[in-house]
Structure 1
Amino acid sequence: MKRINSLFDALVAKRIVATVSALLVIVIGSTAGIWQLGRAQTKIALAANLLARQQMPILSANAGPWTLEEAAERRMIARGHYIPEAAIWLDNRPRPIPAGGAGNTAQAGFYLMMPFRLEGRDEVLWINRGWVPRNNEQRESLPPIETPVGIVNIEGLVFASPGKVYALGSEDVVVDPNKPRIAQNFDLEREAALHHWKQDPFILRLEESGISDGLLREWAPLTTGVDRHYAYAFQWFALAFAGFLFWLISGLRQYWRQSSVNKDLG
């Protein structure tokens, strides 16, 4: 019992500051590691849900109307024609890199959002046609792309929005809805009010590949970054373990030194 008390004194009682510091490192490292594991599991669950919804029967936008809850993350086909004069170029979008693909995710560019008038319906469906790099020397110039003329059939996945980026300030209050424009983010309700037309409550992200229109559509899977979360979790847990080891080893060394002194005095 005396040895246990001496060990407790050497590890804890005489090292309050070191003990509290070690506890903080352990708690912070463990909490951050658990959070990173949770982020990874969330992405895996989202990807599994997306895959399951993609395997459901393909919807037809022309057979709508569909609600967002009915159509979200499902495959959809549409027939109609593009309205290129009302296109919106969403700025500061990183290049999508597919699983196992090569490329520079730091390369910024545009998502091209373009309205699509559905055949046989007085309704518009907004299409994310893909990604294209930006001209860094002439930042206001729009990249050259090709837009099909006339009635076409398209296919893609339904999403609530193309995603948001941080924007300084607000978007321009006064815009010409009949001219292509550059914007930071996309708001379905705002576009409906600007154009005074009826539109679907979601967007369609094209999944077509091999089309030479100047746009990239090799979308990154939702599980992108899972390995990075696992790596971050390992680093945080390693930090917590290292903090514990440092506290334990330094305390034991102090205990052994004190024991040796006591033996010499005895």
Structure 2
Amino acid sequence: MNTNDVRSLGWRFWIITVAALVTMAVTASLGRWQLSRAVQKEALQLAMDQRMAEPPLSAEQFVSQLNALPASSLADAQNDPLLHRQVQLSGQWVAEKTVYLDNRQMNGKQGFFVMTPLRLSGPAGAVVMVQRGWAPRDFTDRTKLPTLRTPAGEVQILGRVAARPARLYEFDTSGNVARDSVIRQNLDLVTFGAETGLPLLPLSVVQTTGNADDGLLRDWPAVDSGVDKHYGYAFQWFGLCALVAILYVWFQLIRRFLRPRSQPSA
């Protein structure tokens, strides 16, 4: 391409060129960033898998290690060394404080997550909120509670440490929801502890095994850090980068400079 060819390209060609280069640089950068996030999530997934493979903690070990954690670890769930650890707990259900979290799914069906405080036997006064399982709801009567059995006396459960249940969107966020309602959209452990006067621990426990006849389903999804999502996003960004490059080369170079040469001279 000589100097006259460059001058004849016009301002539109150079604007499109700059726009294409900027778009390719941005999309490639975003793709690399998603790959770096995937590497971080892989490390997080490995840490979670290692925690879940460790022997279960007793109630005493769970409470003592939890009390030894700094507040910064509890504020950031990813840095909490207790998260996803297995625990073997014994205690008594505080059945009258059971809460039913509405609009929760399991196996594609709508129902409740049943949350019941468990007063631990070992550590004096410690109470942990247990996500006991899932129960279907009655769609003909939305206020009807599912039938389940909460045994009295000493119980033993096996579970894994978790943060508070995933929060769903709710229209009333001002705190005006009836606090005496057992059916709720979300549950904040600190607020619920203040409402009930229970000395709730700042983490909850997802029950994985228990009484088979309590009417609850515990087909919890596998703990996943979401690494596949970042690889998918990276593929999309790199794909968009390649598409811009292909379109630019075809419309701005090949069609512009090769087609006239193939035309027969007059």
Q: Same fold (TM over 0.5)?
A: yes
**Residue of structure 1 aligned with 2:49, choices 42, 48, 51:** 51
1:71 aligns with 2:82: yes
Change (3 A) 1:172 1:214: farther
8 Å Cα contact 1:109/1:134 also seen in 2: yes
CA spacing shift, 1:189–1:223, aligned 2, 3 Å: closer
Tell me which of 113, 116, 123 is aligned to 1:114.
Answer: 116
1:131 and 1:35 map into 2 onto residues whose CA distance is 37
Distance 1:150 1:54, change over 3 A: same
Residue 78 of structure 2 is matched in structure 1 by none
The yes-or-no answer on 1:194 pairing with 2:198 is no
Q: Which amino acid in 1 is paired with 2:258?
A: W
- Aligned residue for 1:67, secondary structure, equals helix
- Match for residue 85 of structure 1 among 90, 96, 99: 96
Where does structure 2 lack aligned partners over 5 or more consecutive residues? 70-80
- Structure 1 residue ranges, 4+ long, deviating more than 4 angstroms after superposition: 4-14, 258-261
Secondary structure in structure 2 of the residue aligned to 1:212: coil
Would you say the 8 A contact 2:156–2:210 is kept in 1? no
| Alignment partners' CA distance in 2, 1:211 and 1:8 | 78
Structure 1 residues 234 and 78 mapped into 2: Cα distance closer, same or farther (>3 Å)?
A: same
Answer with 245-254 or 207-216: which moved more: 207-216
Other structure's SS at 1:115 match = strand
Q: Are residue 147 (structure 1) and residue 150 (structure 2) matched?
A: yes
* Equivalences for residues 243-254 of structure 1 within 5 A: 243-252=244-253, 253-254=255-256
Instruction: Write the letter of the residue equivalent to 1:88.
Output: V
* 1:231 alignment partner in structure 2: 232
Shift, 1:83, TM fit = 1.6
Is the CA contact (8 Å cut-off) linking 2:83 and 2:163 kept in structure 1? yes
Q: Is the 8 A contact 1:75 1:157 kept in 2?
A: yes
RMSD: 3.2
TM-score normalized by the length of structure 2: 0.77
- Higher RCO structure (Cα 8 Å, ≥6 apart): 1
Code of the aligned partner of 1:55 = A
Contact 1:10–1:254, Cα closer than 8 Å, also in 2: no
2 CA distance for matches of 1:259 and 1:130?
72
Letter in 1 for 2:43: A
Q: Deviations over 1:60-87 (max 9, x none)?
A: 2246444263633321111111122211
Q: Check if 1:175 corresponds to 2:179.
A: yes
Is the partner of 1:214 in helix, strand or coil? coil
Q: CA distance change for structure 1 residues 60 and 250 in 2, over 3 Å: closer, same or farther?
A: same
Q: Which amino acid letter does the alignment assign opposite residue 255 of structure 1?
A: F
Percent identity reads 33
